[in-house]
């Protein structure tokens, strides 16, 4: 057989292997990028929930204290809103 025939087949096979390697690297990079995006979204969601909880707490703490009226009943002392 002619060496050119073998060389053509070998070069085609090397090209397929090289293309597969490049494709694998591109998919790996895309997968890492997607994982980073998912973690970033999870952190943003968690931070948003934390900020909402802090705002709700600050709103609860800063509201005026309720006024209560103490009175006596036959059963004992009772507090009720004024």
Structural domain span for residue 28: 3-62
Q: What angle do CA 9, 22, 11 make, to 5 degrees?
A: 15
* pLDDT at residue 47 greater than cutoff 90: yes
Which pLDDT does position 29 carry in this prediction? 97
Give 4-32 pLDDT, tens digit per residue. Answer: 888 998 999 999 999 999 999 999 999 99
Residue 77 placed within a domain: no
Token pair listed for 44: 């943003």
Residue 41 lies in a domain: yes
* Highest mean pLDDT, choosing among 3-7, 38-42, 77-81: 38-42
Question: What dihedral do alpha carbons 10, 14, 15, 17 form, nearest 10°?
Answer: 140
What CA–CA distance (Å, rounded) separates 54 from 60?
10
User: Does 79 reside within a domain?
Assistant: no
Task: Please give the tally of structural domains in the chain.
Answer: 1
pTM (2 d.p.):
0.55
In-domain check, residue 10 = yes
Higher pLDDT, residue 79 or 2: 2
């Amino acid at each position: 057989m002619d060496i050119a025939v073998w060389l053509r087949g070998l070069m085609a096979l090397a090209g397929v292997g090289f293309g597969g390697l490049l494709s694998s690297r591109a998919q790996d990079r895309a997968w890492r990028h997607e994982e980073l995006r998912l973690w970033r979204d999870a952190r943003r969601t968690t931070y948003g929930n934390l900020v909402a909880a802090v705002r709700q707490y600050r709103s609860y703490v800063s509201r005026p204290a309720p006024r209560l009226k103490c009175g006596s009943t036959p059963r004992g002392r009772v507090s009720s809103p004024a």
